Amino acid sequence: TPLYTIAHVVFFISAFTLLNRNESIHFAAFSLLKRVPTKWIYGLLTILFMLLLIYCNDLFNRNPPNPYNSDIIPSIQLYVSRFLNGEFPYLPMKFDWTVFPNYFSLRWLPFLLPHIFHIDYRWLPISIYFIVLFYSIKQVNLFRNKDFFLIIIVLLTIVWVCVLHFQNFEFVNSIEFLIVAYYCLLIPVFHSKSIFWIGISVSLCLFSRQSIIFLLPAISYFLFYQFGWRSFVKYSFLVLSIGILTMMPFLLYDSGKSFIKGLDYYVISARGIWNTFSWQAANDIPHHLSHGLSYALYAFKLWPDNIDKAFSYFYKFQWIVHLGLGILCMMIIYKSPKISTMALITKLYIGLFFNFFCAPFLYLYFVPLFVSLHIFIYLSGLKDKNN
């Protein structure tokens, strides 16, 4: 966990320093890469993409959604089926245990499409992610930079191989790549300078998972500085409208009681993963704490005989750290209100947010991993050093 934190901070400081010294971020000339025909690169990309689809299809066929592995996908199936049947989606869900729904609407509403067409839900997040990836590369004209384009392909291949080999359980039992796509979309839309698409992108993040909330002041200041108050008002109205349209109907149904109960249930379930599983030895470290990348592990080690106390302290501590991260990002963007800085503080914030999180499910760390890759894509294609 400390190495994970240091890596994020070093990446941020190094990139921020280079950008503010007006030096472009680039590698030395790759004379060998320059000799590779462009059609070979596109051919390689096509082959790798097809291999990925074939392997994912095999993974999905061998691992159908199972609530005993994870209740994420079975829960989303219930949200969607209830919604299509005219039922209230946020009623308690019965498996062999009871789940009180707490997913924000833009985390499950997109799955109406695969449900209607009887497609495996897990194809939707992957499809949206690759659309965002293509848009990100196109936005900075990386297709024209053969050196960096090939390097990006190599990096993406390595990361995907590692995810599918070492974290295939988390991959097949979650829909986290939908959240990955939402957060990765932030970077190219900031570069596009379109208030409409920035508002859409921020809304997708905010109303799917609320982890972006402490970054909103920095985003707001950046938009106000870059575009002026009129555009900022349009952005605010758009985000508010999307929130009202996608969340308010469900909150008004029972005055938000079911949703509030769901949020309380999330805290209870977060406390639950601080216990060892039945298949672990009594003195083992809880599985999610030992495998996640959160400092929650150290709180557990400080008070191993009083887990309730350890969880309570760390739960409060995480909110202090998250608020501090938001303030730090605000200070940085105030000093350097540029698009590249906004991209970097997004990476810093997302990376460290989950470092101090009381429920360190391993699939959550797909988001900072792929956001970092997309920051690299953005910086690789950056031409205007004043951006």
pLDDT digits (tens, 9 = 90+) for 212-246: 999 999 999 999 999 999 999 999 999 999 999 99
Which pLDDT does position 153 carry in this prediction? 81
Q: Phi and psi dihedrals of 98, rounded to 5?
A: -110, 130
Task: Report residue 74 CA to chain centroid gap.
Answer: 20
Is residue 64 scored above 90 in pLDDT? yes
Residue 190 has a pLDDT of: 85
Average pLDDT over residues 66-84: 94
Q: What integer pLDDT is reported at residue 26 of this predicted model? A: 47
CA atoms of 316 and 299, how far apart (whole Å) = 12
- The average pLDDT across 70-92 equals 95
Q: Is the pLDDT of residue 8 over 80?
A: no
d(C-alpha 135, C-alpha 127), whole Å: 12
For the cut 60, the answer to whether the pLDDT of residue 177 exceeds it is: yes
Say if CB 293 and CB 355 are below 8 A apart: yes
The chain-wide mean pLDDT, for the chain, equals 86
Residue 9 has pLDDT above 70, yes or no: no
pLDDT at 3: 46
Region 342-371 average pLDDT: 89
With 0-12 / 13-18 / 19 or more C-beta atoms within 10 angstroms meaning exposed / middle / buried, residue 36 is middle
**CB-based contact 128:183 (threshold 8 Å):** no
pLDDT at 16: 56
Taking 90 as the threshold, does the pLDDT of residue 32 lie above it?
Answer: no
Residue 80 has pLDDT above 60, yes or no: yes
Nearest C-alpha neighbor of 378 from the set 149, 137, 52: 137
C-alpha distances out from residue 254 to 177, 241, 257, 261, Å: 31, 21, 6, 11
Containing 99, the helix (H) or strand (E) segment is: strand 98-99
Output the CA angle 293-137-128, nearest 5 degrees: 65
Distance separating alpha carbons of residues 141 and 166, to the nearest angstrom = 32
Show Cβ contacts of residue 91 under 8 Å, excluding neighbours closer than 6 positions: 82, 101, 258
Share of the chain above pLDDT 90, in %: 53
pLDDT for 10 beyond 70: no
Strand-pair category, 98-99 with 93-94: antiparallel
Name the pLDDT band for 326 (thresholds 50, 70, 90): very high
Query: 10 Å Cβ neighbour count for 143?
Result: 15
**pLDDT given for residue 144 in this prediction:** 66
Question: How far apart are alpha carbons 314 and 355 in whole angstroms?
Answer: 12
pTM for the predicted model, two decimal places = 0.89
Length of the chain: 387
Q: Check residue 212 and give its pLDDT.
A: 92
How would residue 128 be classed by pLDDT, with cut points 50, 70 and 90? very high
* pLDDT tops 80 at residue 7: no
Q: What is the pLDDT of residues 266-320, one digit of tens each?
A: 999 999 999 888 788 878 888 888 888 889 999 999 988 899 999 999 999 999 9
Q: Give yes or no for a contact between 152 and 372, defined as CB atoms under 8 angstroms apart.
A: no
Instruction: State residue 178's pLDDT score.
Output: 96
Q: How would residue 151 be classed by pLDDT, with cut points 50, 70 and 90?
A: confident
Sign of CA dihedral 210, 211, 213, 219: negative
More confidently predicted of 380 and 247: 247
Mean pLDDT computed over 246-262: 91
pLDDT (average), residues 161-182: 92
